[in-house]
Amino acid sequence: MTSGGPMLEVRGLQVQRGGRGVLDVASFHLGDGEFVSLIGPNGCGKSTLLLSMMGLLPRAAGEILFRGEDVFSGDRVARRRRMAMVLQEPLLFDATVHDNVAAGLRLRGLGREETRRRVGYYLERFRLGDLAQRSARKLSGGEARRVSLARALAVEPEVVFLDEPFASLDVPTRQSITADLERAIRGSRMAAVLVTHDRSEALRLSDRIVVMNEGRIVQSDAPSVVMNSPVNEFVASCVGMETILPGEVVRRNEWEVAIGVGGQEIDAVAEASVGEQVYCCVRPENVVIEVVNPTLTSSARNVYLARITRVASVGPYLEVRLDCGFPLVAHVTPDSFALLRLEEGKRVWASFKATAIHVIRKRRASAAAAGPAPANESVADGAASTQR
């Protein structure tokens, strides 16, 4: 065992499927007790990366080191037994809840007493105490997820890989299970890698967020950095910046720039030179809709007359699409929507602050996307080390 170094280290990993490259990760590190979320579109290699780190997928090239040892060499089973994994489906055995949670411990030949103690502890941790003798076939979706999490954590691994363990659960169940999982993991020294499509989950749980696209790591940073300073437009769209507008810097005044977009100008606080091609990224929650012109009453630098082009219900709020000369997306609550008597085709005023815009310089974005991932990782290491 090496001390001080990362628990898990991936270098130049390439994985192929059917002769086609599906994973190309230049560098990835995971420290003891660190919680990392992997986000990215379907098929971008997140699950493949987890399976590879677990030593369950053959690689075409590269190294995966667990405590300094290659996961494909030596006693692979013994090494795998220091890790755990929860897949998208609970995949419970046709046995009682108790026996499911005990499965990993029995595979390790743990004594009867210790098995019973540990199973009891993890059943309580995941609020399954009353269901111990119930058939795993007769559980609700949420209960089955709890059992699969308890089964993985009961072996007390050094790292747990969570491959969308909350997929297809309703919001309250998801939140309750997430809270229990967070408590269980934070209460130990276990490291975790979570694959998720839920940004709020990633934000809430992670020390670091890794964004993947087409088998590569695009950005790896502290959650606040990824959410507020995405390195390119792909990451911006991944982290919920629904309005991403290509434009050109037309004016510059110290920290403030004016960006020409679709015949309009957007004021933003950013570092960019006149003539530079950029993307303006605006989060829908930062856009304010008003029915009277707020120019004289608001501190927002960007105010536009807009027409509502489409309204859609998105969970607890409404997504309002606007045409301001450029497309803009805003989120409003149903109450505000009703109060302002909003409807498709109506003319309104849309505003957002200059400080609420994230500007991505195209040159930098393309360089970051094409550049080697270790550069991103070194940023990430610094960010991660400040987290705990």
Q: Nearest to residue 289, comparing CAs of 338, 220, 222, 232?
A: 338
67 binds other proteins (CB under 8 A): no
340 binds other proteins (CB under 8 A): no
191 binds other proteins (CB under 8 A): no
Q: Nearest to residue 364, comparing CAs of 235, 268, 255, 207?
A: 235
Residue from 2, 17, 68, 93 touching other proteins (CB under 8 A): that is: 93
Residue from 104, 230, 284, 374 touching other proteins (CB under 8 A): that is: 104
State both tokens at 236. Answer: 């911006």
107 binds other proteins (CB under 8 A): yes
Report in angstroms how near the CB of residue 86 gets to other proteins at its nearest: 8
| Residue whose CB is less far from other proteins, 51 or 311 | 51
| Residue whose CB is less far from other proteins, 136 or 235 | 136
Q: Nearest to residue 310, comparing CAs of 291, 293, 329?
A: 329
For other proteins, what does the binding mask look like between residues 156 and 175, x meaning CB under 8 A? -----x--------------
How buried is residue 254: exposed, middle or buried, by Cβ count under 10 Å (0-12/13-18/19+)?
A: exposed
Cα torsion angle, 284, 290, 294, 298, sign? negative
Residue from 21, 60, 62, 89 touching other proteins (CB under 8 A): that is: 89
Rounded CA-CA distance 89/332 in Å is 34
Task: Determine the Cα angle at 73 with ends 70 and 78, to 5°.
Answer: 95
- Binding region for other proteins (CB under 8 A) out of 9-17, 74-82, 120-128, 332-340: 74-82
Report in angstroms how near the CB of residue 82 gets to other proteins at its nearest: 9
Q: What part of residues 252-281 is at the interface with other proteins (CB under 8 A)?
A: none
Rounded CA-CA distance 368/232 in Å is 8
| Residue whose CB is less far from other proteins, 154 or 227 | 154
Q: Are 284 and 330 in contact (CB under 8 A)?
A: yes
- Binding region for other proteins (CB under 8 A) out of 73-81, 176-184, 214-222, 344-352: 73-81
94 binds other proteins (CB under 8 A): yes
222 binds other proteins (CB under 8 A): no
Residue from 36, 152, 249, 322 touching other proteins (CB under 8 A): that is: 152
How far is Cα of residue 331 from the mean position of the Cα atoms in its chain? 21
Strand pairing category for 191-195 and 208-213? unpaired
Q: What is the largest CA-CA distance in the chain?
A: 74
Q: What part of residues 37-66 is at the interface with other proteins (CB under 8 A)?
A: 51, 54, 56
129 binds other proteins (CB under 8 A): no
Residue 36: count other Cβ atoms within 10 Å of its Cβ.
Answer: 24
146 binds other proteins (CB under 8 A): no
298 binds other proteins (CB under 8 A): no
| Residue whose CB is less far from other proteins, 101 or 169 | 101
Give the start-end residues of each E strand in the chain: 8-17, 20-30, 35-39, 61-66, 69-70, 83-86, 159-163, 191-195, 208-213, 216-221, 243-253, 256-261, 264-269, 277-282, 288-290, 302-314, 317-323, 327-332, 347-352, 357-361
- Binding region for other proteins (CB under 8 A) out of 26-34, 86-94, 233-241, 372-380: 86-94
16 binds other proteins (CB under 8 A): no
Residue from 22, 64, 155, 202 touching other proteins (CB under 8 A): that is: 155
Q: In one letter, which amino acid is 318?
A: L
Query: Which residues, in sequence order, are bridge partners of residue 311?
Result: 320
96 binds other proteins (CB under 8 A): yes
Report in angstroms how near the CB of residue 59 gets to other proteins at its nearest: 16
31 binds other proteins (CB under 8 A): no
| Residue whose CB is less far from other proteins, 85 or 322 | 85
- Over the Cα atoms of the chain, what is R_g? 24
Residues within the interface to other proteins (CB under 8 A): 51, 54, 56, 77, 80-81, 83-85, 87-89, 91, 93-96, 99, 103-104, 107-108, 133-137, 151-152, 155, 161
